[in-house]
Amino acid sequence: MDFSGGNAGFGGDVDFSSGNAGGDFGGGDAGYSAGNSGYDNGGDYGAGDYGAGDDSYNDRPKFEPREGDWDCPDCGKSNFANRTECFKCQAQRPEGMGAPAKPRREPRDDDWTCPSCDQSNFGNRTECFKCQAERPEGMGAPARPRMEPREGDWNCPSCDQSNFGSRVECFKCNAARPEGMGLPPREDRPDRFYNWASSRNRYEFNANNVDENNMGARDAELEKELFETDAAEQQTTLDFSRYENIPIRVERADGMDLKPVKTFLEADLHPVMKENVTLAKYANPTPVQQYSVPIITKGKDLMACAQTGSGKTAAFLIPTLSALFNKPELAQPRPQPYEARTFMAEPLVLILAPTRELCSQIFDDCRRWSYRSHLRPCAVYGGASSVTQLRQLERGCDILAAAPGRLMDFIERRKVSLKRVKYLILDEADRMLDMGFESIIRAIVEKRGLPTDRQTLMFSATFPRSIRKLARDFLRPDYLFLKVGRVGGTTNSITQKVMYVDEEEKREALRTLLNSQPPSRTLIFVETKRSADSLDQYLYDRSFPSTSIHGDRTQMEREDALLAFKSGQCPILVATAVAARGIDIRNVMHVINYDMPNDMDEYIHRIGRTARVGKSGLATSFYNDRSELLAPEVTKLLKENNQEIPDFLEQYVTENTVWEEDLDEEDVPAPSYAGQEWIPQERMIPGGPGSFAGAAGDNGGAADGAFNEGGYGGGAPPRRDGDWDCASCRAVNFARRTDCYKCHAEREGGDSGSNNYGYDQSASNGDASNMTAAWDSSQAPSWQAESSEPAAASGGWGGATETAEPAAASGGWGGAAETAQPAAASGGWGGAAETAQPAAASGGWGGAAEPAQPAQPAPEAAQPAAAAGGWGAPAAEPAQPAAAAGGWGAPAAEPAQPAAASGGWGAPAAAAPAPAAPAAAAPAPAPVAPAPVAPAPAAPVVEADSWGAAPSASSGSWAGAGW
């Protein structure tokens, strides 16, 4: 078809109105209104009615001018009445045409006219809005008086900005509120002002203040906090010689030149990381660190199994963070203040842990090892304030320690992105890949944008064969497997004792056991949450300084309990499995299995809370007929570590020393739950019907409460059009699903025309029986509940009467109370009698007390018995108590030599316990108080079986002051 009518191109004789060249649009053989090449078999749109060969627009109705419109005298164009010039030729509107000018606004009082451009401005403006000229003196409205500060308002010391009294940080520069300023927290909202573990101080890098290594300047105060340079630690000697004979194997490393590092100085680490290692007082690397550092530095994926307390956290943090110190270009730029609310954090290192306490502990380690670097650590976990955690993420995040539930929540809310992750680390990896966690871990790794070129590291003290098989799904084919010692084994630094105790006699046996030991941090494990509260109350009623931690306590109570345990305020902690994994607390000298666990892995992790990093410790287990299923494996473990085997376990002794974990995992199938689809929980109104907070108290846990009947807003969600029931399992599925979310059975009758990838749909929570793919805290430890309401404990924190002052822990860590008001009562925590005076520790933990009145454990008038030396025993009123002979750092008084108790730690048991001379701190059955320096009016009598009084020792006991 030629548009030029015979001549080539558009530059020839062009005729669009006629011709046979097929180039005319008005009427030709090839035209669009008639011809053989047209559309719709005629070449016309609408059978020739569209224009009919005439493109004239003159037939359109002309616009009727409105009142006031005027015609330009130059070009004849019509213009709107309010125009002062023609829109086409810009000719001025003639006089008398158009709409009359609007009357000018009368200026208000204080309005002022700009002397530069003659523009009128509002009275409150300090500069002209048109030319930005400054307002002349004497014009405009007077300045408003500045708001008088309200009670509690405080000025930021950094930027001098005034802040409301309720704020804990400056709203402008985010500087923390100084001590003593602001308002105290509201009683009804203590969580808004609580110092969460995830909000602790971390190093804030300043690019304008760096050294020759491009690292930040030192911060003396933060350095003291992170590395505890002023901590007067009293601990057993670190005996690294015990690691020399541990067998170490690196599997799948054929042909690799893998040399272990013997010292941190010779390792391929950044100079600042080596300085941090020196500040942490790490002399030599442990076996798992010797091999992990070179493996991670070479870029290999790693699965590592080493005993509890062997330094696995430092083994994966030191090499990964050191490798990123010299690569600031990989990190996400810090957000500007105006970008905070829309900022999405993109960490370089992602560390996943199964419990909230372990997340906060890893976060503390990240703060330590990232000191002086540009890397900024953060922690996200359930139970704590999500707003506080989001504010920290909005300031930048390069290292993220996270619990899976809260992390997935932030990913779905587009607050966290995983596209920059270089290192994915699973701590306690066997638990992370167990039922209840595997589906959400798989969703995070495979369906949330995690890069495929990442480096994956897995660490744990136990690795069952089936879990090792499952872990291959998340590792590269050339990964390495590091075995330090036996897989799932423990260390012989732990002295293991097994006692036969009937179920109804456990409490009295525990009381006797605690009395037979010198004061020390003691961790007591029970099986259920109710048992933890009950046993804690039992101990507190008998003046033991105890607290408890379990899944039904609020996160504030859990963090407070750990802080009290670490500081020595409550050196006895009753815990469930929530504290069994990964928790590293210095100087835990005694672990007691009040209830034996259900499997051997749990036993290994429990007793591993003591004897950390080369230290020694004691683990005692109460055994009875309910623990028979665990007896063969416990006996084999005792024999493997050269521990004493009691008579009632002799029948289980065997010559078979092969453990199941030592076998290869090739012939073991992956767990049946592997590959199940993760079902996201419905987002509910916090505290409303069916929410986690509202359901936890009635349904036993936050995870269960969300799916029980009545837990979904008071009933099942409404059934929508198209939803279908699975013919196999009767589960209700969304209309767009082509297979059942629960059993993956194909939908009968074909698909619904929607492509569903399975991980972006919400659960249908109509029936709790349909939620096997969701988390169930009744089948897994309670840490899976990201938000939980505590059970109403009869002895909670702060349960003191109004007239009572907080009880001071007599004989506590670091010194005794002077004249603090009340002593512990027989009732709840802090519920002391109004007239009670504190007990002075006669042989406490670090110092003597001032003269004080004897403690009254009950409101009755009876005076308590004085103990020869214990947790809260009163001394004679005018007497200065002698220092504990076997205590924690206090030297024994010269006149008094403690009597060695029979059966003590490291001391052979005597045939019969002879009454010993009165001693200051050693438990002895003598009913005589320590010799006073000044004559006492009356020496209290030692009450039998009281706290501080020694039980009747037997040849099988191991009490003693020679600890």
What is the rounded CA–CA span in Å between residue 829 and residue 825? 8
Distances (CA, A) of 387 to 195, 345, 381, 405: 13, 14, 12, 16
What is the rounded CA–CA span in Å between residue 112 and residue 125? 9
> Would you state the pLDDT for residue 725?
86
> Would you state the pLDDT for residue 537?
95
Whether residue 519 contacts residue 948, with contact meaning beta carbons closer than 8 Å, is answered with no
What is the rounded CA–CA span in Å between residue 830 and residue 157? 37
Bridge partners (DSSP) of residue 593 are: 525, 621
Which three-class secondary structure state does DSSP give residue 152?
A: coil
Sequence-ordered alpha helix ranges (H) in 472-519? 506-515
414 and 476 together in one domain = yes
Q: What pLDDT, in 10s, does the model give residues 884-893?
A: 333 343 344 4
- Single out the residue in 438, 459, 489 at which a domain terminates: 489
Is the pTM value of this prediction over 0.75? no
Average pLDDT on 222-232 reads 75
Number of domains in the chain: 4
Per-residue tokens: 471: 């872990």
454 and 500 together in one domain = no
Would the pLDDT of 859 be above 80? no
- Single out the residue in 463, 489, 515 at which a domain terminates: 489
Whether 943 is covered by a domain: the verdict is: no
Average pLDDT on 172-198 reads 79
> Would you state the pLDDT for residue 18?
42
Per-residue tokens: 283: 């002399």
Which three-class secondary structure state does DSSP give residue 350?
A: strand
Whether 682 is covered by a domain: the verdict is: no
Would the pLDDT of 339 be above 60? yes
Whether 743 is covered by a domain: the verdict is: no
507 and 479 together in one domain = no
Compute how many other C-beta atoms are within 10 angstroms of the C-beta atom of residue 317.
25
Per-residue tokens: 613: 């990093």
| Sign of the torsion formed by the C-alpha atoms of 500, 504, 507 and 512 | negative
- The mean pLDDT value of the chain amounts to 74
Instruction: Please report, for the chain, how many H helices and E strands are present, in that order.
Output: 17, 22
Q: Domain range spanning residue 513? A: 494-658
Would the pLDDT of 883 be above 90? no
Whether 541 is covered by a domain: the verdict is: yes
DSSP line for 20-47:
SSS--SSSSTB-SSSBSSSSTTTTSSTT
Would the pLDDT of 605 be above 50? yes
The residues, ordered by sequence, that sit 6+ positions from 944 with a Cβ below 8 Å of its Cβ are: none
> Would you state the pLDDT for residue 484?
94
Would the pLDDT of 14 be above 90? no
CATH number at residue 178: 2.30.30
DSSP line for 837-859:
-PPPPSS-SS-PPPP-PPP-SSS
Per-residue tokens: 880: 């200065």
What is the rounded CA–CA span in Å between residue 880 and residue 883? 9
> Would you state the pLDDT for residue 239?
58
> Would you state the pLDDT for residue 332?
94
309 and 429 together in one domain = yes
> Would you state the pLDDT for residue 29?
44
The residue written with tokens 């005298």 in the block is: 73
Whether 281 is covered by a domain: the verdict is: yes
What is the rounded CA–CA span in Å between residue 625 and residue 914? 34
Using a 10 angstrom Cβ sphere, with 0-12 exposed, 13-18 middle and 19 or more buried, the burial of residue 459 is buried
- Single out the residue in 593, 624, 658 at which a domain terminates: 658
Distances (CA, A) of 824 to 224, 488, 818, 925: 34, 42, 15, 24
DSSP line for 806-828:
PPP-TT-TT---SS-SPPPPSSS
- pLDDT class for 709, splitting at 50, 70, 90? very low
Whether 420 is covered by a domain: the verdict is: yes
> Would you state the pLDDT for residue 874?
41
Q: What pLDDT, in 10s, does the model give residues 261-289?
A: 999 999 999 999 999 999 998 888 999 99
Q: What pLDDT, in 10s, does the model give residues 893-916?
A: 443 443 433 333 433 334 434 444
Task: Compute φ and ψ for 621, nearest 5 degrees.
Answer: -125, 135
Q: What pLDDT, in 10s, does the model give residues 475-511?
A: 999 999 999 999 888 888 899 999 999 999 999 999 9
β-pair type (302-305, 455-460): parallel
> Would you state the pLDDT for residue 876?
40
Whether 260 is covered by a domain: the verdict is: yes
Q: What's at 916, amino acid-wise?
A: A
Q: Which of 477, 402, 407, 413 is nearest to 443 (CA)?
A: 407
> Would you state the pLDDT for residue 521?
95
Q: Regarding predicted confidence, which is higher, 848 or 240? A: 240
Would the pLDDT of 212 be above 70? yes
Per-residue tokens: 712: 């979904």
Whether 873 is covered by a domain: the verdict is: no
Q: How far apart are the first and last CA of the chain?
A: 107
> Would you state the pLDDT for residue 56?
56
The residue written with tokens 């070479």 in the block is: 298
> Would you state the pLDDT for residue 824?
39
| Sign of the torsion formed by the C-alpha atoms of 689, 695, 699 and 704 | positive
> Would you state the pLDDT for residue 192?
66
> Would you state the pLDDT for residue 750?
53
> Would you state the pLDDT for residue 541?
95
Bridge partners (DSSP) of residue 127 are: 134
Q: What pLDDT, in 10s, does the model give residues 88-131?
A: 999 999 988 888 877 777 888 889 999 999 888 998 898 999 89
Which three-class secondary structure state does DSSP give residue 393?
A: helix
Would the pLDDT of 316 be above 50? yes
Whether residue 919 contacts residue 899, with contact meaning beta carbons closer than 8 Å, is answered with yes
- pLDDT class for 260, splitting at 50, 70, 90? very high
Would the pLDDT of 324 be above 80? yes
β-pair type (78-79, 70-71): antiparallel
Average pLDDT on 784-798 reads 38
Using a 10 angstrom Cβ sphere, with 0-12 exposed, 13-18 middle and 19 or more buried, the burial of residue 27 is middle
Would the pLDDT of 355 be above 90? yes
397 and 440 together in one domain = yes
Instruction: Taking each helix axis as running N to C, give the angle between helix 356-369 and helix 220-227, from 0 to 180 degrees, rounded to the nearest 10.
Output: 130
- pLDDT class for 149, splitting at 50, 70, 90? confident
Lowest mean pLDDT among 180-194, 305-319, 393-407, 515-529: 180-194
> Would you state the pLDDT for residue 54?
52
261 and 386 together in one domain = yes
Q: Residues of the chain with pLDDT > 90: what percent? A: 43
The residues, ordered by sequence, that sit 6+ positions from 830 with a Cβ below 8 Å of its Cβ are: 797, 798, 799, 800, 801, 804, 806, 807
423 and 511 together in one domain = no
376 and 512 together in one domain = no
The residues, ordered by sequence, that sit 6+ positions from 664 with a Cβ below 8 Å of its Cβ are: 465
498 and 554 together in one domain = yes
Q: What pLDDT, in 10s, does the model give residues 717-766?
A: 567 778 888 887 778 888 878 888 777 788 877 543 333 333 333 333 33
| Sign of the torsion formed by the C-alpha atoms of 236, 238, 244 and 246 | positive
Would the pLDDT of 72 be above 50? yes
- pLDDT class for 576, splitting at 50, 70, 90? very high
Q: Regarding predicted confidence, which is higher, 690 or 192? A: 192
Which three-class secondary structure state does DSSP give residue 48?
A: coil
CATH number at residue 645: 3.40.50.300
Per-residue tokens: 75: 């070009």
Per-residue tokens: 962: 């020679």
597 and 523 together in one domain = yes
> Would you state the pLDDT for residue 847?
37
β-pair type (377-380, 399-402): parallel
> Would you state the pLDDT for residue 787?
37
- pLDDT class for 855, splitting at 50, 70, 90? very low
Q: What pLDDT, in 10s, does the model give residues 621-651?
A: 999 999 999 999 999 999 999 999 999 999 9
Three-state DSSP string of 192-229: HHCCCHHHCCCCCCCCCCECCCCCECCCHHHHHHHHCC
Average pLDDT on 215-231 reads 84
Q: Which of 557, 788, 781, 793 is nearest to 695 (CA)?
A: 788
520 and 582 together in one domain = yes
Measure the CA angle with vertex 785, ends 782 and 790; round to 5°.
75
265 and 300 together in one domain = yes
> Would you state the pLDDT for residue 147?
73
